[in-house]
Amino acid sequence: MTDPIVLPDKMPSSAAADLSRALDTAAADLAPGAEIRIEAGDVRTIGALAAGLVLRFARDVEAGGGRVEIASSADFEDDLRLLGLHDLLLRKDPVT
C-alpha cells in the first residue's frame, strides 16, 4: 500500500483545482493493482466538484486493477449522502 492521501478538513468546490492536482500526482505514481487509502477522517465539508474528483480518482484506480479504501468522518459521509455519492464511494466492492 502506498502512503495515504490525506484530505483537508474543508474541501469546498473552490478547492477542486488543488485537489485535482494532488490526485493527479498520486495517480501518476501508482503501480498497476495498487492499494490506495484516502484519509478523510478530518473532513468536515466537501463540495460537489471535490467529491466528483474523488469519485473519478477511485474509478480510475479501480479500472487499472487497483483498490481504494476511504477512511471517512461522519460529516464527509453526510455530505456524500446529500450529493448522492455515498454508496458509490464508501461501499466495500469496487466502484463501477
* d(C-alpha 42, C-alpha 34), whole Å: 24
pLDDT at position 1: 59
Q: Give residue 10's pLDDT.
A: 94
Report which secondary-structure segment, H or E, holds 39: strand 35-40
- pLDDT for the residue numbered 93: 53
- Catalogue all structural domains in the chain, each as residue range(s) with its CATH number: 5-90 (3.30.750.24)
CB-CB contact of 66 with 94 (8 Å): no
Query: How much is the pTM?
Result: 0.87
Rounded mean pLDDT for each run of 10 residues along the chain, 96 residues in total: 86 90 86 88 95 93 90 95 91 54
Distance from chain centroid for Cα 65: 16
| pLDDT score of 95 | 47
| The predicted structure's pLDDT at residue 96 | 46
